[in-house]
Amino acid sequence: MTAADNGSFFIATPIFYVNDVPHIGHAYTEVAADVLARWMRQSGKDTWLLTGTDEHGQKILRTAVANGVEPKAWADELVARAWLPLLDTLNIANDDFIRTTEDRHKQAVHKFLTLLHDKGFIYEGDYEGYYCVGCEEYKQSADLIDGSEDFPDARVCHMHGRPVEVLKETNYFFRLSQFQDRLLELYASQPDFIQPDSVRNEIVAFVNRGLEDLSISRSTFEWGIDIPWDSSHVTYVWFEALLNYITATGWGSDDDTFAKRWPAVQLVGKDIARFHAVIWPAMLMAADLEPPKRVFAHGWLLVGGEKMSKSKLTGIAPSDITDVFGSDAFRYYFMRAITFGQDGSFSWEDLSARYEAELANGWGNLASRVIAMVTRYFDGKIPTELGAVLPADQAIHDTIDTAAHGAAKAMSTFAINEAIASTWRIVDELNGYLTEQEPWVLAKDDAHRQRLARVLYTAADGLRATAILLSPVMPEASQKLWVALGADNSVGPLTKQLLTEAGTHSTLPPGTPVAELVPLFPRIESAE
């Protein structure tokens, strides 16, 4: 059985360059992968989330040299100081973290290169052309634009705006050109292999224009993984970095684990979709391995209309946001405000506004009110002796069911923002329900005791559904709410609750004591 049909879900983020510290564009990829992984894990799939760091190549070498340290020492420092802590900052539940300087990676890369060499897919040749160290990518002249005022006479990389370098080297080449037909067949037979469609169309057009063989080694510097049969070359950084997805999951060393995990869903920014949807599947085909299950390209975070990047000084550190708003709000905001797969603009104003309206006054306030009324009117226990189900209660039951189904459907196509919007219908409708049912008025007359019990039970049970459905996005607030509802004791741990069953209404056990709920989203004094 392969991972494609055994109900397992392996999702990988790109591995991050350690030349600098993370900004919120990197954090966006991490959070999206974590939300998808938590969702699948809680849907009962055997899930594996892999992330890590890309540590070789000229970009990192030059940064280290400029800082007067060895590249490995530089990478060690950045991983320890910035990249591993990022996972805590964002509350990422990854299953593994691979560094390309680890032995497990190097050994498997050697094995892979030897395999492709033995199979005749690698040959020695001359490369003459452009290279952008920022992208770590060989460039065609069509990829270049005229330099702006800083470099008026140069042709520059359109991503980095800096002049490209001209290389003339004897390198080893991978016979990428041989894979054009097989790649086109893959795209045709599996229409959702590359998503969204805009990226798919661009990739299909690119491959249709024909592929050139790819230089996969460099011989003018030493910071990399040596070519096993020729130690005067190091492996081209992208060629070995792509292999992390299989070197981390046992290829070449642990066949059972590899068979269980592979193929992966690859989550990437659209700038690196070509590497993942063209070069990577071709490499795998050459080694007789399955291509990834899917390559999903998300859009860019824009700040002031530009792709955020450290080099353009638009970078914002994730902790700048989480220190003020917390990790849940960070995760919610980027997953909710941006249509997954499209570009989206970040602004502090929008973040503050959504924090206040949707989190603090929306979900958070709803939770506080319901727990407070259960505490006040029912001696701190989820009501028992419930009155009959009236149409207004039935409407909430239906909403819970529809919202849960809608969220699951959206998540199956990675429409994370739609899944949240679907769940939010429960929040909005419960707020309306409380306004209409006026439990504080019902509480004034003992004759309405059972009706009051029904209303507060319905609201608490709706909150139960929100805690489960939102736990992949906001694990901390969901957990607090779960505990406050007494569900930790009466139902069991939140992470064990199947999302597929969240939509079954009236499953919160009556009679359970609730616990105090600290505000889920406290007021922020100077949100701007």
132 is catalytic: yes
Residue 150, SS3 per DSSP: coil
CB of 23 to ligand MSP, least distance (A): 7
β-strand partners of 513:
381
Query: Which CB sits closer to ligand MSP, 97 or 300?
Result: 300
Catalytic residue selected from 26, 59, 233, 260: 26
Catalytic residue selected from 59, 157, 270, 276: 157
CB of 254 to ligand MSP, least distance (A): 21
Edge-first strand order for the sheet with 165-174 is 137-139, 122-132, 165-174, 214-215
Catalytic residue selected from 56, 135, 139, 293: 135
276 is catalytic: no
Q: Are 75 and 55 in contact (CB under 8 A)?
A: yes
135 is catalytic: yes
d(CA 132, CA 162): 8
CB atoms within 10 A of CB 270: 19
CB of 420 to ligand MSP, least distance (A): 19
Which residue number is nearest to ligand MSP in terms of Cβ?
269
Query: Which CB sits closer to ligand MSP, 50 or 415?
Result: 50
448 is catalytic: no
Cα 264 to Cα 9, 218, 230: the distances in Å are 7, 28, 31
Q: Are 297 and 268 in contact (CB under 8 A)?
A: yes
Q: Are 316 and 346 in contact (CB under 8 A)?
A: yes
Query: Which CB sits closer to ligand MSP, 307 or 397?
Result: 307
In terms of DSSP H, where are the helices of 209-317? 237-242, 244-247, 255-261, 273-274, 280-286
Residue 518, SS3 per DSSP: coil
CB of 100 to ligand MSP, least distance (A): 9
Q: Are 30 and 85 in contact (CB under 8 A)?
A: no
CB of 250 to ligand MSP, least distance (A): 18
Query: Which CB sits closer to ligand MSP, 71 or 362?
Result: 71
d(CA 171, CA 164): 19
Query: Which CB sits closer to ligand MSP, 32 or 329?
Result: 32
26 is catalytic: yes
Q: Are 417 and 333 in contact (CB under 8 A)?
A: no
Query: Which CB sits closer to ligand MSP, 310 or 425?
Result: 310
Catalytic residue selected from 72, 111, 117, 310: 310
CB of 267 to ligand MSP, least distance (A): 8
CB of 167 to ligand MSP, least distance (A): 20
Axis crossing angle, helix 391-412 with helix 416-437, rounded to the nearest 10: 170
Two tokens at 257?
A: 């684990």
444 is catalytic: no
Two tokens at 494?
A: 């939140």
By the criterion CB under 6 A, which residues form the site for ligand MSP?
Answer: 14-17, 25-26, 28-29, 54, 241-242, 244, 268-269, 271-272, 300-301, 307-309
383 cis-preceded (ω within 30 degrees of 0)? no
157 is catalytic: yes
Query: Which CB sits closer to ligand MSP, 22 or 475?
Result: 22
Provide the residue count of the chain: 528
Instruction: Tell me the pairing of strands 306-307 and 301-303.
Output: antiparallel
Catalytic residue selected from 59, 105, 110, 132: 132
Active site residues: 23, 26, 132, 135, 157, 160, 307, 310
